[in-house]
Amino acid sequence: QDGPQRKKRKSEAGGADKQLDILAIGTAVGSILLYSTVKGELQSKLDGGHDSRVNCVRWHQDSCCLYSCSDDKHIVEWNTQTCRVKCKWKGDNSSVTCLCISPDGKMLLSAGRTIKLWDLETKEVYRHFTGHATSVSSLMFTTVKPTNESKPFDGITGLYFLSGAIHDRLLSVWYIRSDRKEKNAVMSFTVTDEPTFVDLTVSEVKEEPVKLAVVCRDGQLHLFEHILNGYCKKPLTSNCIIQIATPGNDGDSTPKPVPILAAAFCADKQSLLLVYGNTLQPIIEKVSLNTSESHICLVRDVQKVLSLKTDAAVTKVKTPVVNSDAKVLVPGIPGHSTAVKTPALGKEKKKNKRKPGETEESIEERLGALDIDVSKVKTPGGLPQTDSFAVLLVQGLESNDAEILNKVLNTRKENIVKNTVARMPIHAVIPLLHELTKRLQGNPYSASLMVRWLKSVFTLHASYLSTLPDLIPQLGMLYQLMESRVKTLQKLSRLHGRLFILVTQVAASQTVQEVLEVNQTAKLVYEDDSSEEEGSDDEMIGDKDSDENWDEDEEKEEQSDEQDMTVEKEINGDSDLEPENESEEE
């Protein structure tokens, strides 16, 4: 597998024959494992180079040299014979995700998001390239010789290389110039989805086209064939798309696509190795290239090939052999430690071999065989206790018996509810919550009883509920129900307040009507006539009552102020009252 965790030496990277069987594997902790494929064992381990995950390893043409890059932003050159770091330098300001060594072995391409070309002798940057917006996942040279053969070749100038990035549907081709002006890609290949595996045939002569095989995340294989001869503005589309599908069976007539996992060109460059199917059990097939057709669909019956042999070995149940020396422990009620009698075992064996005509033993007989006193289990008065409530609740939840559940859940006593919830088994908590949620949506009286059970369940079994990975979907309906009811609480409170005011006013009005009628006769009557005698008589009457009721008639006096002044003038002229008495009257 040629992924970011495991990189194998490319076929063009030659070396000593004794080293051809070594596979370099980068790990997530920063070490590199050297595995011998011939011996089938770990040969050595390279430590001390990286502090973080190893993203890519590449063999050098010199088989004793290995390059690796990591999330710690560094590139390390290893000596695989001594298993020590030969050189280490900072490759980028962020994590370095991909490496590629030039055909002559003197240059190294590294990429995070931007691409850099390093001189391996001086460990300095030779060229910068723009790169991609996301992390680069593949880097490889496409030519070994420059297309312009008039100029002398220095080993790197004039070569093309290819790069691909994650979440990027364009594969870019870059050209290494003699000057530092051009930093952008000269051409690009477009595919239908993110490329997951890229392989190509290297162009060795000028007129030879580069063949490119790109496997996308959607399971399709795109084949390109193009002669690299300079700048191309528009993205190039694939010459051929290869897909694999299953044949339509009798039961299901719709063919199903089979994802292609990887593809690699053979040595003759005319055939292709396809890897498809399941990642745990992939199928490798060699197909010949035919790019004359733009779309090829290969029909393969993957189900027959991938049918796993699940024999009876998986489902075989081994029964233990029990002899006379073995002591068998049978589960009973807590505190019951009586040894099992031998007749019980005899009955058990006899029961297993029961004939069709015989009747099965009752539960009471079985309890008798276990020496359990049945009379002790029964409670006086026949009232159900907390233990029996818990048992009844579990039975009702398992059998979905409404009668049993109503008998248990309609309990009003807080102690019985708490003890029942505390003694019920853990596996019945979620079914109980589902039943309570269903009953909360019904009658309001029933809902008020269910809230007590909910409170006890959340109080006593909170630690168990917090360990469930699927707690949110399990309690989703209950949460929505409670939230919808809480939302209406404010409106109901306002309505309750208004109704309370109305009821209070109605009650007050009824109370007022029930009070006895008050005597409405006036205590003081004032009459205004034109005759002086009547006026004097009225004034005398006013004199008698003025000291007692003057405060009550202040308002009337203010309203008839002018009339009083006229009466006073008449009294001052004709009556025998002295000035002090007049002032007292005023």
pLDDT category of residue 5 using cuts at 50, 70 and 90: very low
| Residue 160 half-sphere exposure toward CB, CA atoms < 13 A | 28
pLDDT category of residue 550 using cuts at 50, 70 and 90: low
Residues 105, 517: Cα–Cα separation, whole Å:
120
| DSSP state at residue 338 | P
Q: Which of 414, 392, 412 is nearest to 403 (CA)?
A: 392
Radius of gyration, alpha carbons of the chain: 50
| pLDDT at residue 57 is higher than 90 | yes
pLDDT category of residue 446 using cuts at 50, 70 and 90: confident
Q: What order of strands is seen across the sheet that includes strand 282-288?
A: 260-265, 271-277, 282-288
In sequence order, what are the residues at sequence separation of 6 or more whose Cβ sits closer than 8 angstroms to the Cβ of residue 517? none
Report how far Cα 30 is from the mean position of its chain's Cα atoms.
29
pLDDT category of residue 331 using cuts at 50, 70 and 90: low
| pLDDT at residue 432 is higher than 80 | yes
What is the pLDDT at residue 223?
Answer: 93
| pLDDT at residue 279 is higher than 90 | no
| pLDDT at residue 373 is higher than 50 | no
What is the pLDDT at residue 7?
Answer: 42
| pLDDT at residue 345 is higher than 60 | no
| pLDDT at residue 507 is higher than 80 | yes
What is the pLDDT at residue 330?
Answer: 59
pLDDT category of residue 367 using cuts at 50, 70 and 90: low
Phi, psi of 194 (to 5 degrees): -60, 130
In sequence order, what are the residues at sequence separation of 6 or more whose Cβ sits closer than 8 angstroms to the Cβ of residue 63? 15, 16, 19, 20, 80
> Which of 111-125, 236-250, 483-497, 504-518 comes out lowest in average pLDDT?
504-518
Residues 272, 242: Cα–Cα separation, whole Å:
11
Residues 173, 53: Cα–Cα separation, whole Å:
28
> Which of 101-115, 160-174, 191-205, 369-383 comes out lowest in average pLDDT?
369-383
Q: Is 196 strand, coil or helix? A: strand
DSSP per position, 254-276: S--EE-EEEEEE-TTSSEEEEEE
pLDDT category of residue 398 using cuts at 50, 70 and 90: confident
Mean pLDDT of all residues in 479-495: 85
Phi, psi of 393 (to 5 degrees): -65, -45
| pLDDT at residue 178 is higher than 70 | yes
What is the pLDDT at residue 451?
Answer: 86
Amino acid at 121: E
Helix-strand-coil split of the chain, %, nearest 5: 35, 25, 45
What is the pLDDT at residue 347?
Answer: 44
Q: Which of 404, 401, 394, 456 is nearest to 425 (CA)?
A: 394
Mean pLDDT of all residues in 64-72: 92
What is the pLDDT at residue 215?
Answer: 95
pLDDT category of residue 558 using cuts at 50, 70 and 90: low
Mean pLDDT of all residues in 220-237: 89
How large a percentage of the chain has pLDDT more than 90? 28
User: All domains of the chain, ordered by start, with CATH?
Assistant: 97-299 (2.130.10.10), 387-486 (no CATH)
Residues 163, 188: Cα–Cα separation, whole Å:
9
Most confident of the following: 307-311, 463-467, 517-521: 463-467
More confident residue, 537 or 165: 165
> Which of 127-136, 186-195, 286-295, 573-582 comes out lowest in average pLDDT?
573-582
| pLDDT at residue 195 is higher than 70 | yes
Mean pLDDT of all residues in 454-475: 84
Mean pLDDT of all residues in 76-83: 91
- As a three-state string, the secondary structure of 451-491 is HHHHHHHHHHCHHHHHCCCCHHHHCHHHHHHHHHHHHCHHH
> Which of 412-426, 433-447, 455-469 comes out lowest in average pLDDT?
433-447
More confident residue, 491 or 3: 491
Q: Is 375 left (phi over 0), alpha (psi -120 to 50) or beta?
A: alpha
| pLDDT at residue 371 is higher than 60 | no
Mean pLDDT of all residues in 362-373: 64
What is the pLDDT at residue 292?
Answer: 80
> Do residues 132 and 100 touch, judged by C-beta distance below 8 A?
no
> Do residues 66 and 24 touch, judged by C-beta distance below 8 A?
yes
What is the pLDDT at residue 555?
Answer: 53
DSSP per position, 6-52: B----TT----GGGTTEEEEE-TTS-EEEEETTTTEEEEEE-SS-SS
Neighbours of 398 (CB within 10 A): 11
> Do residues 273 and 284 touch, judged by C-beta distance below 8 A?
yes
- pLDDT tens-digit profile of 107-142? 999 999 899 999 999 999 999 999 998 999 999 999
What is the pLDDT at residue 2?
Answer: 39
pLDDT category of residue 355 using cuts at 50, 70 and 90: low
| pLDDT at residue 98 is higher than 60 | yes
Helix 386-399 to helix 402-409 angle (10° resolution) is 140
The vertex-20 CA angle with 17 and 25, nearest 5°, equals: 155
- pLDDT tens-digit profile of 149-163? 767 778 888 889 999
pLDDT category of residue 310 using cuts at 50, 70 and 90: very low
Residues 153, 149: Cα–Cα separation, whole Å:
8
More confident residue, 360 or 579: 360
Residues 22, 60: Cα–Cα separation, whole Å:
13
What is the pLDDT at residue 322?
Answer: 63
What is the pLDDT at residue 557?
Answer: 54
| DSSP state at residue 85 | E
Q: Could you tell me the two tokens for 579? A: 């000035």
* Exposed / middle / buried, residue 255 (Cβ in 10 Å: 0-12, 13-18, 19+): middle
Most confident of the following: 42-51, 540-549, 555-564, 567-576: 42-51
Mean pLDDT of all residues in 367-376: 55
pLDDT category of residue 165 using cuts at 50, 70 and 90: very high
| pLDDT at residue 394 is higher than 90 | no
| pLDDT at residue 549 is higher than 70 | no
